[in-house]
Structure 1
Amino acid sequence: MMKTGTSVAIAAALATLLLGCSSSRDDLQLMPVTGVVTYQGEPIRDGVIRLIPAEGTEAPVRVRKIKEGAYQFTGRSAVAAGIYRVEISAYRPVDDAAPSEEGLGVDLPRVQYLPKQFNTDSQIELLEVSNTDSEVAKDFVL
């Protein structure tokens, strides 16, 4: 059985740890980032955009869907100040594929079609978000 002093010390340490974690997230100022993504002059109809914090940027990775060319990092998915690597993937249905019936809906099999310089080996210009920005509008022309 633990002594009362040890129990109080452990409880105080845990409380400090929890308060430290929550206060840093509460203080994190988030800015909306929105825009349009096109590939070869056409909007990406179905895709994903990832913002990966560069070294020195203390923020979580952000991921949003691209629908009909548009993406939005808003509300709880808004972005903290810092520099981000951008990765973009785009999908199209597989030709002559039969729909799968997994899950709640019927999904068509799809394939990612962008070259790797836009995703796994991204050469897209880094995105910089400043804490003085109230909103960032950034289009990506691939």
Structure 2
Amino acid sequence: MLVNLTACLFAQLKKVREDFPYLRLSAADDTELAALLLRVQRGFLVDHGVYYVTQPSIGESMWVRDEERLLTYREFCERLQDPSWRVWTDRLIRLHIESAHRDKRERTQLLLTALAQLTEFLDGCVGGGHSIESRQQAEGTEPG
């Protein structure tokens, strides 16, 4: 499930980068968003995780162009059974296996911090206040 969600995150990061010129942000917010996106993408790269140049490609593979939507979880699982498609997600799968075994803890902590900073920034940009933080507290999923 985490592999699927991360691949969807890569798709959304790619979309934000493509739509960047059309976002209505102040110059300071524009710069901060770019830095936060890069920090997340670099976080996945630490210790030879998922290479920076393959992240958008993984994201693109999650997109169903004809229907303008992301793959469903079921569709994703079905595609994983195709070795020629799965080869592009192998590094991502390995990253999550390493995280599950508590290998590469520094990478995991960097990623959690970068993702928390990005979500906090985006939450503020859309006028959500502290809605993500409140939800994390309610669910008991507040980052480390």
Q: TM-score, normalised by structure 2?
A: 0.23
TM-score, normalized by length of structure 1? 0.24
1 or 2, which has the higher strand percentage? 1
Bigger radius of gyration? 1
- Report the structure, 1 or 2, having the larger helix content: 2
